[in-house]
Structure 1
Amino acid sequence: MALLNLSSSLAFRLSLLALLLPACTDYAAGGEKKAPPVKPASQYDTFDAHPKENVTIAAEPCDDPKDCSFFRLPYIQHGFLPIRVVITNDGDRAVSLDDARMQFISANRDVIPAATDDDINRKLFLMKSVKGTKIPLPAPLPPITIHHPSVDKKILEDNNDFGFQGTVVNAHSTLAGYLFYDVQALNDPALKGAEFYVKMVHSLDGKQNFFSFTIPFDKWLAAQDKKEASKPAPAK
């Protein structure tokens, strides 16, 4: 009987350890990770231009893992929508994003902020994100305490390589970066009827507050359909 209890305890511990291992594997293995070159915001399928303020903002989503395979982890498969936000400043004064709010607005008017590194880490590595939770084990083993982990290295590397590298858009320049939005709870496709909303952008000197930017994703979906329809039919 004692041997049976020990075997059960060992099996339980091994099962638990298996669950606690990271649920994600390398998504883009080997080689240097490169995103497509950044273009001026007005050259993307979906953008909002403010001619009087000399600022244009584009939002380029990636809803197909093949189109952003440079990421190290499978964000799309875990319910995140990567969106490349591109800000072009054609004016003579620098623009500040320090106070900017960049939100995904669903067709049902759900307001979804950009996910933080911690948000992404919790969702991709769910079993590692339980802070201070004690899991009882069969006696005589003590409970295991799971501590909140640091953000996974691959998330930090993706942020460093593909996220915003600053909050200032200098005069006559373009700044871009990927943000991630948790759209798993939305109806599929999440982009249908949705829009990208940017507010609280102002000049670096604080003398000019810009109007909000609204970018409808239905326009982006229509552009993708048009590109697909223009592809030559496969040879028979």
Structure 2
Amino acid sequence: MKYILLVCFCFFAGIGLAQKMQCACGTDSNLNEIIDCKSTIFKNGARLYWQFNCDSSWLTFKAVNGRKRILFSLDSSLMELTGRLGYIYAAEYKYVFLIRQNLISGCCDPPEFILFNKNTGRQKSLLGRLVFYSHDSKYPIVISLGPNSNSLIIFNVDTHKKYSIALPRGRLSKSIKLSFFSAPELLFDNDLIKGDSLVLKYQYKTTAKKDWLYSKILIDLKK
């Protein structure tokens, strides 16, 4: 699905650009119900919020010093997909916040993820697809698949420590070929945090005719 992304990574400062928050369209009341302009307030006092008028919607980061940065925008033809297409707030950690980027508004391509600096709103790193990310800042962990989907890459976004866990070679890539799934990340369908451990569950196939099998991986979140 094609869509227009209007992304600006420039600060807006000064009295001339200190505009009042916009959160309404007089000619389309439906947008007022679709787009939520309530701020997400980070622990450092910075804010993240949507604004919109009748021409576009845009996601704004506001630093503690009042400076603003537009992270993402949708034009009038796609405004009704605000919150489903493009940037969606995911989680806050000690130094950064995580944005989920939906490349399509529905099924079935996995989203991609981006880390942003929590003080400046600047993009820090592109993480790509993930199989897990923590909603709890106590465990600042994101997990992705390694080369050829033969391993899990566990990354601590606060300490930048990274390590991998091997998966059975070829299991996930073979399962994709034997199924309707478009990406191996979609094979992971459940996760559970127990104490300081994460239990990841994924499904796989050995032959096209056999039912799905399931496997669990135990990950130490304090490692």
Q: Same fold (TM over 0.5)?
A: no
Which structure is higher in strand share?
2
Q: Pick 1 or 2: higher relative contact order, CA cutoff 8 A, min separation 6.
A: 1
Which structure is higher in helix share?
1
Tell me which structure has the larger Cα radius of gyration: 1
TM-score (norm 1): 0.26
TM-score (norm 2): 0.27
